[in-house]
Chains A and B, each alone.
Chain A
Amino acid sequence: NAGVTQTPKFRVLKTGQSMTLLCAQDMNHEYMYWYRQDPGMGLRLIHYSVGEGTTAKGEVPDGYNVSRLKKQNFLLGLESAAPSQTSVYFCASSSIENQPQHFGDGTRLSIL
């Protein structure tokens, strides 16, 4: 009963490095989301997807790219990491609009 799984759980990067965060869900959900959580700011939507092969920008998309090649996976990429991207990143998925989102346990990313 995995739900939403995020890898890695922790990562430290140097400024300018690139990396990809992986999110996998086993609930056959159509919608998937990437958020960042910073103290006092709640969750802010980075990018989202409403189905396989589709992506859209959220509230804070700059510096991030995403891909949804398979329905169960949603990848978040940082091409050139910056210290301002130090945050906790959460992936979530949901089925239809009136259903809640299911969250992963987060990826704690520090950029030095």
Chain B
Amino acid sequence: AQSVTQLGSHVSVSEGALVLLRCNYSSSVPPYLFWYVQYPNQGLQLLLKYTTGATLVKGINGFEAEFKKSETSFHLTKPSAHMSDAAEYFCAVRNTGGFKTIFGAGTRLFVKA
């Protein structure tokens, strides 16, 4: 069965510091991987996705993530945090040939001035 684990329900960084949000997954077949962001009182928006090809994927707002099959990880990074990055971030996995997407529990990012 698929599962997604996001390490740390809350992460706090200073403005300008590196952002690292961790995601590990389990899947019996090659997965499709996604990161979504949720701002207060809004739905989820896609940040980036990995389907096939290059394992380092770039998304919106300066975020990127690297698919590491050997580590079953898909960590999200951004070199320099901005106040506007404060939000909740969800990692998600979907199997090839599957209809359902499994979401992690989410990581709330706080950015300090």
By a beta-carbon cutoff of 8 Å, the part of chain A in contact with chain B is: 4, 31, 33, 35, 40-43, 45, 48, 50, 56, 58, 90, 92, 97-98, 100-101, 103-106
Bound complex: CA of A104 vs CA of B86, how far in Å?
A: 20
Pick from B36, B43, B104: contact of A4, CB under 8 Å = B43
Q: What distance in Å separates the Cβ of A83 from its nearest Cβ neighbour in chain B?
A: 22
By a beta-carbon cutoff of 8 Å, the part of chain B in contact with chain A is: 9, 32, 34, 36, 41-46, 49, 51-52, 90, 94, 96-101, 103-106
Chain A residue, CB-CB nearest to B4 = A42
Known contacts A106-B42, A106-B43; decide if A98 and B96 are in contact (CB<8 Å): yes
Let me know if A48 and B99 touch, CB within 8 A. Answer: yes
Bound complex: CA of A33 vs CA of B97, how far in Å?
A: 17
Let me know if A90 and B9 touch, CB within 8 A. Answer: no
Let me know if B9 and A40 touch, CB within 8 A. Answer: yes
Let me know if B41 and A105 touch, CB within 8 A. Answer: yes
Pick from A40, A58, A103, A106: contact of B100, CB under 8 Å = A58
